[in-house]
Chain A
Amino acid sequence: DGGITQSPKYLFRKEGQNVTLSCEQNLNHDAMYWYRQDPGQGLRLIYYSQIVNDFQKGDIAEGYSVSREKKESFPLTVTSAQKNPTAFYLCASSNLINNQPQHFGDGTRLSIL
């Protein structure tokens, strides 16, 4: 079945540590996205990419970095510069065709030790 796989489901970070969240899709979608979800805040866009080797900052990119070396993969690194990283992180993908919806993975919950 086609879909988006995020791993791990739960992740713990120590102070001052960088961690990387994985996102893989086999839907052959051109665009991929990372969102952060906090209670009562809805979803906020961190980064997105429409094509391999290119990506753009979203609304809350500070303290995060991404890469897009392959069409299928869009890993997110939460750096030590992100002072409040505890959240639920969602990856999504879509075709760049008019009005096609985004498809979401099951998310990674990141917590600070």
Chain B
Amino acid sequence: GNSVTQMEGPVTLSEEAFLTINCTYTATGYPSLFWYVQYPGEGLQLLLKATKADDKGSNKGFEATYRKETTSFHLEKGSVQVSDSAVYFCALSDQPGAGSYQLTFGKGTKLSVIP
């Protein structure tokens, strides 16, 4: 079956540090890939997505590139802020031709950014 593996947290960084959160996946076919962010006590918000190999998703300074050859979708940001403190989830959709139902999530990586 499908699976998503994220680097385990928690991750603690100083403000303006470089962020990488690793994500690798196993899937049949050609899934779409997503990063979601969850702030404390809230639901998930879509951060960025990529729908085919070599696509780069980007939003709010975050980027991730869909690497089919390494089955990876690592999240990066060049300079984190305290407001980026949250839990980040990598996810894949196994029905790219029919909508994004049946999302498979990683376990999440908690990021804390200190001033």
User: Which A residue's beta carbon lies closest to that of B8?
Assistant: A40
**Taking A90-B44, A104-B45, A107-B42 as contacts, is the C-beta distance between A40 and B107 under 8 angstroms?**
yes
B49 touches A (CB below 8 Å): yes
A106-B42 in contact (CB<8A): yes
B89 partner, pick from A40, A43, A50, beta carbons under 8 A: A43
Q: From B68-76, B77-85, B92-100, give the one contacting chain A.
A: B92-100
Q: From A11-19, A65-73, A77-85, A94-102, give the one contacting chain B.
A: A94-102
The binding surface of chain B is classed by DSSP as: loop
A33-B105 in contact (CB<8A): no
Across-interface contacts of B115 in A (CB, < 8 A) = none
A105 touches B (CB below 8 Å): yes
Binary CB contact string for chain A from 1 to 16 against chain B (1 if under 8 A, 0 otherwise): 0001010000000000
Binary CB contact string for chain B from 51 to 70 against chain A (1 if under 8 A, 0 otherwise): 10000000000000000000
B46-A103 in contact (CB<8A): yes
User: Which A residue's beta carbon lies closest to that of B45?
Assistant: A104
Tell me how many residue pairs across A and B have CB atoms closer than 8 Å: 71
CB distance from A78 to the nearest CB of B (A): 18
- The size of the chain A interface, using a CB distance under 8 A, is 28
CB distance from A81 to the nearest CB of B (A): 24
A96 partner, pick from B98, B106, B107, beta carbons under 8 A: B98
Taken together as a complex, chains A and B put the C-alpha atoms of A40 and B89 apart, in Å, by 11
Binary CB contact string for chain B from 19 to 55 against chain A (1 if under 8 A, 0 otherwise): 0000000000000101010000111111001010000
**Taking A42-B108, A101-B34 as contacts, is the C-beta distance between A106 and B99 under 8 angstroms?**
no
User: Which B residue's beta carbon lies closest to that of A96?
Assistant: B99
Across-interface contacts of A110 in B (CB, < 8 A) = none
Taken together as a complex, chains A and B put the C-alpha atoms of A102 and B35 apart, in Å, by 11
What 7 A-B pairs come out closest when comparing CB atoms? A104-B43, A96-B99, A42-B107, A42-B105, A104-B44, A99-B51, A43-B105
